[in-house]
Amino acid sequence: MDLAKYAGAVIKNLREENGWTQTDLAKKVGVGKTTIANYESGTRSPNQDMLFKLADVLQVSVNRLFPVPDGVIPVTSSRKIPVLGEIACGEPILADENIEEYVETPVNSLPTGTIFYLKAKGDSMKPTIPNGSLVLIRQQPVVEDGEIAAVLLEDSNEATLKRVKHASNTILLMPDNRDYDPIVVTETSKARILGKAVKMTVDF
């Protein structure tokens, strides 16, 4: 792909969306009208400083002036997803009392439904989920055997991440780390599934 022609076409489209002439844009970035005409036709390519100046004037990310490589999904917008901490007893899951912070997440990667993040604590789910990872949870009351779920242990008001295994009237919360024992949930124990783990984010 001809990068100069691609950038030129984007510059022209953005200029026209703003209702500006080539002269208008030229004055805003401090060049002559002929230079803008050459950019838009692709006969001349803006240098790096000019690309940033054009992006600033046109009020877009500089990435908008470059083609998206094959296989890469462009980020069109983002959404603030709550990160839950301790769960306040009796409160709705996404009550303000339960939310520690919000994380901006590209909407391209989000599943449907009510979603939130949990921060993994400890190494009971290693190597699948390292300590400190942000795990995206889709709120739902049941999951299939073998799926990782966020489960609220109501005695401690803490949510834990474990694989769920159903056995008769008992639910086993299975760690991936064999150094840890399963948590047994029965009809008398106070625990409930908050949702299914659908994605994990790890900061290096």
Active site residues: 124, 162
155 near 120, Cβ under 8 Å?
no
Q: Are 99 and 82 in contact (CB under 8 A)?
A: yes
Question: What is the three-class DSSP state of 49?
Answer: helix
Q: How many residues does the chain have?
A: 204
- Collapsing DSSP to helix, strand or coil, 107 comes out as helix
Three-class secondary structure of residue 31 per DSSP: coil
What is the DSSP pairing of strand 99-106 with strand 78-84? antiparallel
Q: Are 93 and 124 in contact (CB under 8 A)?
A: no
Q: Which two tokens stand for residue 132?
A: 């400190």
Q: Which helix (H) or strand (E) holds 118?
A: strand 115-119
Q: CB–CB of 6/66 below 8 Å?
A: yes
